[in-house]
Amino acid sequence: MTPLLFSALLALWGQQASPPVIIEHDGRSPLPPGVAAPTVRVDRPSRPPVLALPEGELKAFTRNGRAMHFIATDSLQRDGARVRVIYYTVNHPSFPSGDRLIAHWVTEASVDCDAGMTRSLHLSAYDEAGDEVLWLPAEPAERGVEGTLQGDLLRTACRPNIPPTHPSIRGWTEALPFARGRLGGRD
């Protein structure tokens, strides 16, 4: 006897089960007379808030191919060997996503300094004007191999103090033209 049929029989007979019976229903077959459709609550992870374009101090930590990456220094949260960090990326040239162009994005990442692993927790990508184009959820952890973005993020975020690599840059509105100039683009 299925849980749904058992619940239906109890409802028809006016009896109550103790403890409550879990009703499982495929949503396609009809329910017996006198049995209300079960309410199903599905807990889905909610989307984190949009990662705003950074306004505080940014320090460039790597450049690879068509992109320059900056750590938002006010975002660093250390807990032993684990670090949460937000980094900002400028891409040149911009690339398409549907009918819009992605010019830059912000990523929240978790870095495990002892294990040598990094993990993108989520990413918000923006067009030239700073309007969100798309959002991407978490990705699996990756080993921080030297010479890759993950390796450079690991090396930089795990330092007790991040040394300045360039003049102080305040916010994305300064970082965008700064990076474009170094990537061979124009403002």
Percentage of residues in the chain having pLDDT higher than 70 = 69
Query: 187 near 76, Cβ under 8 Å?
Result: no
H-run or E-run covering 148 = none
Question: Which class in CATH covers the domain with range 57-182?
Answer: mainly beta
Over 70: is that where the pLDDT of 186 sits?
A: no
Residue predicted with more confidence, 3 or 129: 129
Mean pLDDT in residue range 133-150? 87
Largest Cα–Cα separation, the chain: 78
Query: What is the model's pLDDT at position 50?
Result: 75
pLDDT tens for residues 85-113?
A: 999 999 988 888 888 899 999 999 999 99
Over 90: is that where the pLDDT of 36 sits?
A: no
Where do the domains of the chain lie?
Answer: 1-41, 57-182
* Two structure tokens written together for 48: 């984190």
DSSP structural state of residue 152: H
CA nearest to 67, candidates 181, 179, 153: 179
Over 50: is that where the pLDDT of 40 sits?
A: no
Query: What is the model's pLDDT at position 37?
Result: 56
